[in-house]
Amino acid sequence: MITLPETPRLVRPTTAVRISYLTGEQADCLLRGTDTDWLGPASEDFDAFVAARDHDTTRWDVPSTIFWYVAGEHYLGTLVIRHRLTPELLIVGGHIGYHVVAPWRRQGHATRMLGAGLTEARARGVARVLLTCSPDNHPSRRVMEANGGRLDEQLGDELRFWID
């Protein structure tokens, strides 16, 4: 296990973690068997990739903020805050989405990252936070429950957790 040079924190996307972002996300995609094509443009012009993400913008039809969880030069994961819900987000997605890239999993980072994300969500006026995950995603469920998430009724295929 690599010893981190400092305590990880949520920061706006930054070019300072270019190498660890690209290698971490690539390792993650390969492990999950998901598409890596999007990493090509990111690798070719990381400045532009960051510039498209380092400020609030409309995604999922609502104002959204992207944070990266970073310690020094190390990128550990991403957390997205959606400032409002839509009928679709009420069923899948909720206010906050997150992932920790594979090399950094199972070290408590997601649990602490969501804790920091809740503070950022409240600062943006989201008092009651909805999170969703698939019923078989036990690690994510643990992350939500460790941060006070309480299970609500299941709509569609996703479990829904509210944090007051």
Ligand X SMILES: CC(C)(COP(=O)(O)OP(=O)(O)OC[C@H]1O[C@@H](n2cnc3c(N)ncnc32)[C@H](O)[C@@H]1OP(=O)(O)O)[C@@H](O)C(=O)NCCC(=O)NCCS
| Binding region for ligand X (CB under 6 A) | 98-100, 105-111, 133, 137-140, 142-143, 146
Q: What is the DSSP string of 81-131?
A: EESS--HHHHHTT-SEEEEE-GGG-SSSHHHHHHHHHHHHHHHTT--SEEE
CB of 62 or CB of 146, closer to ligand X: 146
Report, in Å, the least distance between residue 24 CB and ligand X.
11
Q: In whole angstroms, give the CA distance from residue 78 to residue 98.
A: 5
Report, in Å, the least distance between residue 47 CB and ligand X.
26
Report, in Å, the least distance between residue 122 CB and ligand X.
20
Task: Name the one residue in this structure whose structure tokens are 């643990």.
Answer: 142
Write the CA distances from 77 to 51, 69, 80, integer angstroms: 18, 5, 10
CB of 128 or CB of 138, closer to ligand X: 138
CB of 66 or CB of 133, closer to ligand X: 133
Task: Name the one residue in this structure whose structure tokens are 């991403």.
Answer: 78
CB distance 79 to 96 below 8 Å = yes
Report, in Å, the least distance between residue 141 CB and ligand X.
8
The residue with its CB nearest to ligand X is 110
CB of 41 or CB of 139, closer to ligand X: 139
The two structure tokens encoding residue 4:
């981190």
